[in-house]
A and B are shown apart, each in its own frame.
Chain A
Amino acid sequence: MSIASVFIANRGEIAVRINRACRELGLRVVQAASAADLDSLAARLADEVVEIGPPPAAKSYLDIERVVAAARDSGCDAVHPGYGFLAENADFADAVVAAGMRFIGPSGDAIRLLGDKVEARRVAQAAGVPVVPGSDGRLDTLEEATALAAQIGYPVMIKAAAGGGGRGIRIVHDAAELARQFPQASGEARAAFGDGGLYVEKVIEHARHVEVQLLGDGERFVHCYERECSLQRRRQKVWEEAPAFGLDQALRERLCASAVALAAAVHYRGAGTVEYLYDPRTHEFYFIEVNTRIQVEHPVTEMITGIDLVATMIRIAGGEPLPFAQDQVRPAGHAIECRINAEDPARNFMPGPGTVTALTVPQGEGVRFDTLLYAGYAVPPFYDSLLGKLIVHGPDRDTCLERLRDALAGLDIVGLATTRGLHEALARDADVIAGRTDTRFLEPWLAREFVPAAAP
């Protein structure tokens, strides 16, 4: 492999995780750190630490010029972007390569292509990946919209062609409602964006979020099976599993093959994830987007496949071919990950920094805790609230849940409020245990069922 040293352009638990993969591979690690992170676990574990700016991320971890200059000056051969920050910034990937280093991830062009929602949908469709049925382009008249809605089936979503961020989205349940809402939506879109064009898309009710882990070296592509990530709050995943429960083998093969077809279509290099909505009533799945990076929830896939995804993406970036074929990826058992955040469930999940005065990490068969914490660490207020991920593996889902309940009981983070208690309640909930969940499950469940323990 042509990489001997890695510059970690990220922080927190993923920086610690990347550090571990580098050690496995015998690589030197240089850790980027803002002024607030000089005492972080990732900084303590690194061979060298480079300060890249003041605490706010905009002036440190998000500053492309500064990060690239620091990486180049450190003498590293490669840059690992982690997730978040600059991980899916095509200009950053290009700048790393232009500075003479390897970017541990796909090319800037692939990031750009797959990061554009419209382009990604087009590429997926061309590769035979099912997409959410909807208008191919803009619709300007109610007649067009009515004809399309009749074809794809109600309910449908109307959204401004020129809009974004969920603005102006309406859901209509029949033709009469469409006839009422379409002119209003068009008028509002014209007022807001200067363009009255609308898109119509089928609403997938009671959808689950499933996603497929990919690895590619630009020529060969494999999947590492799928994950189930339906338990979300404010569109943030809080609990993930692998494999997705309740999929029959034929469906699983079709789902995973579609992700591989998409990877092949763009000559994908590195680790990536294709996200889907899955309708458990019709057994149909629909493409959402591609994430061109390692994901927070990658450990559940590592636990069931035994593959070190982070080490593999480094080896691929170093020019090695994919080290295994599809038939060598053999999933075993079940894994669940709980995101432990510095948020107070009793105060509407208000995030809060603080100092960890004591830390007890659970031990046991199949238990893994990926974290940025150490006893005495002052969690800074400047970044996201993820403190760690408790990952548990078992031979089957029931055993996994049993081990998870034990592991959660054995996790003790003293000094700040965390979401551990939320996961304890979820792990005991009958619907969660039975797998009767979808992306709309968690928020009503919180309002209905969840009584958070008072802060100690």
Chain B
Amino acid sequence: MSTLDLVSPLPGTFYRRPSPDSPPFKDDGEAVAVGDVIGLVEVMKNFQEVTAEVAGDGVRFLVEDAEAVMAGQVLAQVDA
């Protein structure tokens, strides 16, 4: 088994939920398929979906909700 990274395509503020009172796009430990939305990145008040480019099980987020991220930063990891 190997560990794969899910990275942010953009710099900005990362959100795990579509809105503050919604459940997260992905709960910790959930499986992720290619193309699944795992969060949003806010760039200059514009919200962009972050979609998974790799698939795997047992997602673990390395970034808190509403935390600043850089382009290319690892947001989460999955087992594949």
The interface of chain A, by Cβ under 8 A from chain B, is: 35-36, 54-56, 58-59, 342, 350-353, 380-385
Contact = CB atoms under 8 A, between A and B. Distances in A.
20 contacts: A35-B68, A54-B68, A56-B13, A56-B66, A56-B67, A342-B44, A350-B46, A351-B44, A351-B46, A352-B43, A352-B44, A353-B11, A353-B43, A380-B11, A381-B13, A382-B12, A382-B13, A382-B42, A383-B45, A384-B45
Considering the complex of A and B, which 10 residue pairs feature the smallest CB-CB distances, nearest first?
A: A351-B44, A55-B68, A381-B12, A381-B11, A385-B44, A56-B13, A381-B43, A351-B46, A384-B45, A56-B66
Contacts of A383: 44-45
Contact of A384 (B10, B13, B44, B66): B44
Contact of B10 (A54, A56, A342, A381): A381
Nearest to A380: B11
A351 B43 contact: yes
B30 to A, nearest CB: 25
Contacts of A59: 66
A352 B12 CA distance: 10
Contact of A58 (B11, B44, B45, B66): B66
B47 to A, nearest CB: 11
B45 A385 contact: yes
Contacts, number: 41
Nearest to A55: B68
Contacts of A385: 44-45
A39 to B, nearest CB: 15
A56 B68 contact: yes
A380 B43 CA distance: 9
A364 B46 CA distance: 35
Chain B: interface size category = 10 to 19
Interface string B4-24: 000000111100000000000
A54 B66 CA distance: 10
Contacts of B42: 382
Contacts of B66: 56, 58-59
Interface of B: 10-13, 42-46, 66-68
Nearest to A382: B13
Contacts of A55: 13, 68
Contacts of B45: 351, 383-385
A352 B48 CA distance: 12
A384 B46 CA distance: 9
Contacts of A384: 44-45
Contacts of B10: 381
Contacts of B46: 350-351
A342 B43 CA distance: 11
A55 B63 CA distance: 14
A356 to B, nearest CB: 15
Given A381-B10, A385-B45, 5 more contacts: A35-B68, A351-B44, A353-B44, A381-B11, A382-B12
Contacts of A342: 44
A262 B65 CA distance: 43
Contacts of A352: 43-44
A341 B74 CA distance: 29
A35 B13 CA distance: 13
A188 to B, nearest CB: 21
Contacts of B67: 54, 56
A172 B8 CA distance: 46
B17 to A, nearest CB: 13
Contacts of A381: 10-13, 43-44
Contacts of A380: 11
The CB with the most chain B CB atoms within 10 A, among A58, A350, A352, A382, is that of A382
Contacts of B68: 35-36, 54-56, 382
A231 to B, nearest CB: 20
Contacts of B12: 381-382
The CB with the most chain B CB atoms within 10 A, among A54, A380, A381, is that of A381
Contacts of B43: 351-353, 381
A36 B67 CA distance: 12
The CB with the most chain A CB atoms within 10 A, among B10, B43, B44, B67, is that of B44
A401 B66 CA distance: 43
Nearest to A383: B44
B51 to A, nearest CB: 17
A12 to B, nearest CB: 11
A152 to B, nearest CB: 36
A342 B44 CA distance: 9
Contacts of B44: 342, 351-353, 381-385
A381 B67 CA distance: 12
A388 B21 CA distance: 35
